[in-house]
Structure formats: C-alpha cells, structure tokens
Amino acid sequence: MSKGIISKEEDYSQWYNDLVIKADMAEYSPVRGCMIIKPYGYSIWEKMQAVLDKMFKDTGHVNAYFPLFIPKSFFSKEASHVEGFAKECAVITHYRLKNDGEGNIVVDEDAKLEEELIVRPTSETIIWNTYKGWIQSYRDLPILVNQWANVVRWEMRTRLFLRTSEFLWQEGHTAHATAEEAIAETEQMLDVYAEFAENWLALPVVRGRKTPNERFAGALDTYCIEALMQDGKALQAGTSHFLGQNFAKAFDVKFTSKENKLDYVWATSWGVSTRLIGALIMSHSDDAGLVLPPKLAPIQVVVVPIYKHDEELENITAYVKEFSKELKAKNISVKFDNRDTHRPGAKFAEYELKGVPLRVAIGSRDMQNGTVELARRDTKTKETVSQEGLAGKIEQLLEDIQQNIYQKALNFRAANTREVNDYEEFKRLLDEEPGFLSAHWDGTAETEQRIKEETKATIRCIPLNNKQEVGKCILTGKPSTQRVLFARAY
C-alpha cells in the first residue's frame, strides 16, 4: 500500500487530509482556515474553470469583476441576507500600519475607516447596488453576468477544499424582466452544473430544491445539486438561486416595462467553488491515492522509461517523442518522466498517488517486442500492448476510465440510497449504513428541525420531478405527498 496515507477504512477524514497534502494539491497556510493551492491542485481548478466558463458563455453569459470590499451599510439592506452572513464576515476597520517606536508594527488608530468595509462573502449586495445604475428599461434586460473571484467566510471549522475561510468560486448574477424568465435561468444554470458534475467530474448528482430552512440567505428558492461521498455523507456541489425581487427592492432597482409600468427587477445568482475539488477527491479516490477523471486530470498519460544504459534511454526517448506527438494531436496531455534520480517503482507510486489516469512503462524488452506496458489507475490493472495503434488505444481507454469511474460512483450511490418508512430504522441506517435516505416528511420546518437535532441528518433536497405518492411523515406520521432526500452532510 501507499506510504504515509492512512486507509479510508481506518479514518476517512484523516485519509482525505493526507491525500490532499501528499498528492501535492494544497498545503496549510500560516493563516487559520486558509490554504495554499499548489500547482497540481490549481491546474485542476483551471481545467474546471475553462470548461465552466465555456458553458456559461454558450448560455449567453459574460464575465465582469466587482470589488473585493463592500461597504458595511450594503449588508443591512436585505434583512435575511445580512442575518445569514453577519456571523462570518471579515471586517476591515483601518487602512494603515505604523511603527510604534519600539520596533513593533501596529495598527495606526488614526487611520480608522469612516465606514467599515466587509470582505465579500458573496457579491449580491455590491452587484445589485451597481445594477441600479445599469437598468432603467426592459431594453436593458436581461443582464447575464458572471464573475470569477475569491470570497471570505469566517467559518468556525474549516477543511481543505471543502470549507476554507477564503475560497475561489464563480458567482453568476442575472437580472430579468419577469419572474418566469428568472426561474428559467435558475433552472438552466442548475442543469449546467449537473451536466458539468456528471460529464466532467464523473460525479452523479441529484438535482433538487432546498427546503425553506436550507435556502440561501435572501433567496425565494434555492436549487442545488447534491452528491454522495464514499463515506456516505452528502456534499452540496453547487447552488442556483431564484432571488425574486428581494435584492431589487433592497437596492431600489426598477425598470419600465413594455407596457410602461414601473416594476422591480427579478434576480438569480448561482455558484460553484473550489469545493468541487474536494468532491472530486472524495468521490473517486482510494487508499493508493487520487483517482482523477481523465477529462480533468492535469496529466492524462505519464510515460515512465525503464533502462539500464544511456543508449537504451535514447532509443526509448526517440520512440516516446514520436508517440507523444500523436497523443498531443488528439489533445491528450502526456508527461514523459525521464528523471534519472528516481527509479521506476518510485515513479509508479507517485503517479498513482497523484491520480494520473494512464501510465505507460517502456523498457528495452518492450522496445525489442514492439510493446509497452499500460496501467490504468482506476482499476489498477496492467496489460502489455502493441505499440501499433497505441495512441488510439489510449484515447479509447481514457474514455473508458471516465465512464467507469462515473458508473462506479453511480452504483455506489444507488447502493447507498434507501427508502425508509420507520424513524427507528432511519436512525439506525444513519449510524450503520450512511447514505441518502428517501423518506416522507410532513413539510413543516419544525419537523425538519427536530430530525436534524435528533439525528444530525438534514433534508438535502426535494428532488426535481419527484414522484408524488401518499405516505406518512417519518417523524410525526402526518400525511405527506412525496419523499425527500435526507443525509448527514459536509
């Protein structure tokens, strides 16, 4: 087994942390709750950004950038929004340091800000304050803007990628003339996220809506995609909010309609974050390290030469150069690891740890036989194949791996999603066989709250296109018309 990684079985949480560090994705920073995203981890984020950005643009959105700092007064304009974020805001009070004469750098009390600035935890307020100036008429609508940014939420407890004090994300903020159009936008973006998760992250997700309790602060409706991690806990992987006219009213953003009537603008916002990297790690990886979906892997194929003498390496290198060209022509990223400072075994272990989907090992034996050894990360199987048509075979295998890990995750979710009708059974399953629990709920916030207090399970979502059926609430026995999805969550 891998050196230095505790097994998933033994301590899932420790396994996750070890993996992030050992696979060179990120490291802890000197500041509590913040992390340094290292090049290998960041390149995954860059790949995610590239794909999502294209999807956003294909659906008519454009990028812009709004300030990191938001005047404190903006937050008090939307009541439920401030309530949701007040407890976790970083506040800037001064703008200068000075030397205190004893060699210490201290805050210069004379440099106190008239109005404190908030480091954005999300940008609805500053954006809607801006939109006020952009919108007068229905002709100015819709506004379909996205921004790539960092945000800060001063969380009590943090976890690498899953919940850090500062994180990277994108936030879309759109403005519409009608509620229908805004709702359609909200749903469209949820679909974009779901497609991205399933086709790129190889992560099956449930599309659904949050209960009023779990809604975004300031939203009328929150749509989400929920995924199941390998330890049976749920992870919210993306959200899309229908904000109604709440922010338009808070920031007084009105427009004149075709009918010459004055009305408030309808809004949406939607976002995914670097948390997706956490989702990626937790859903596919194993005790030997990361397992990355080929479509997002920074290195898709690694080539390891095995040789005794320099002329052997030269032969191998000449071949690898040719065949790398073929791979690059197919848009497959390949790394030739010809370091002579590490032996092949060490390299094998390293790339397994880093989740490189395919490994090609070539030695003199292969050069004589016209073969290579091909090892896939997801199944950890090896085969010796002909050099003839290798690039094509690799292209095919990468697709297979992408499919296979998706299917594996899907099977896992299916095996760990259970219908439950009895509260005792519900509690037992949460402890003994964690996963999604599909159960009837009477629709009240009180019941939801009580279940949460008693079991730590929350309603992850009410799945879209949910089957309607007559049933009884698992806690109160009151009538219910549909099942909702419960789980303990990250």
Contact residue for RNA among 78, 187, 366, 395 (CB under 7 A)? 366
435 contributes a contact to RNA by CB under 7 A: no
407 contributes a contact to RNA by CB under 7 A: no
Nearest-approach distance from CB 419 to RNA, in angstroms: 24
DSSP H/E element including 128? helix 124-134
Nearest-approach distance from CB 366 to RNA, in angstroms: 4
181 contributes a contact to RNA by CB under 7 A: no
**Residue closer to RNA, measured from CB, 176 or 347:** 347
C-alpha distances (whole Å) from 303 to each of 27, 324, 328, 347 are 27, 9, 13, 10
What share of residues in the chain are helix, strand, coil (percent, to 5)? 40, 30, 30
78 contributes a contact to RNA by CB under 7 A: no
Nearest-approach distance from CB 357 to RNA, in angstroms: 13
**Distance between CA 61 and CA 73 in Å, rounded?**
29
Burial (0-12, 13-18, 19+ Cβ within 10 Å), 446 = exposed
**Distance between CA 420 and CA 445 in Å, rounded?**
20
450 contributes a contact to RNA by CB under 7 A: no
**Residue closer to RNA, measured from CB, 352 or 442:** 352
153 contributes a contact to RNA by CB under 7 A: yes
The size of the chain, in residues, is 490
Contact residue for RNA among 36, 50, 79, 346 (CB under 7 A)? 346
Which is it for strands 458-463 and 206-209: parallel, antiparallel or unpaired? antiparallel
**Residue closer to RNA, measured from CB, 93 or 136:** 93
373 contributes a contact to RNA by CB under 7 A: yes
Contact 203, 409 (CB under 8 A): yes
54 contributes a contact to RNA by CB under 7 A: no
487 contributes a contact to RNA by CB under 7 A: no
Q: What is the dihedral of CA 18, 20, 23, 28, to 10 degrees?
A: -90
Query: Binding to RNA (CB under 7 A): which residues in 288-327?
Result: 288, 306-308
DSSP 8-state code for residue 61: -
- Residue at 249: amino acid letter: K
Q: Which stretch binds RNA (CB under 7 A): 160-168, 176-184, 434-442, 475-483?
A: 160-168
Q: Roughly what angle, to the nearest 10 degrees, separates helices 310-329 and 390-415? A: 70
| The three-state (H, E, C) secondary structure of 202-218, written as one string | CCCCEEEECCHHHCCCC
Burial (0-12, 13-18, 19+ Cβ within 10 Å), 461 = buried
Contact residue for RNA among 230, 274, 283, 300 (CB under 7 A)? 274
Contact residue for RNA among 17, 147, 256, 481 (CB under 7 A)? 17
Binding mask 231-260 for RNA (x = CB under 7 A): -----x--x---------------------
Nearest-approach distance from CB 182 to RNA, in angstroms: 19
Query: Binding to RNA (CB under 7 A): which residues in 380-399?
Result: 380, 382, 384
Contact 361, 372 (CB under 8 A): yes
Chain contacts with RNA (rule: CB under 7 A) = 1-4, 13, 17, 28, 30-33, 87-88, 153, 155-159, 162-165, 167, 216, 236, 239, 271, 273-275, 288, 306-308, 340-346, 348-350, 352-353, 361-367, 372-373, 375, 380, 382, 384, 452, 456, 489-490
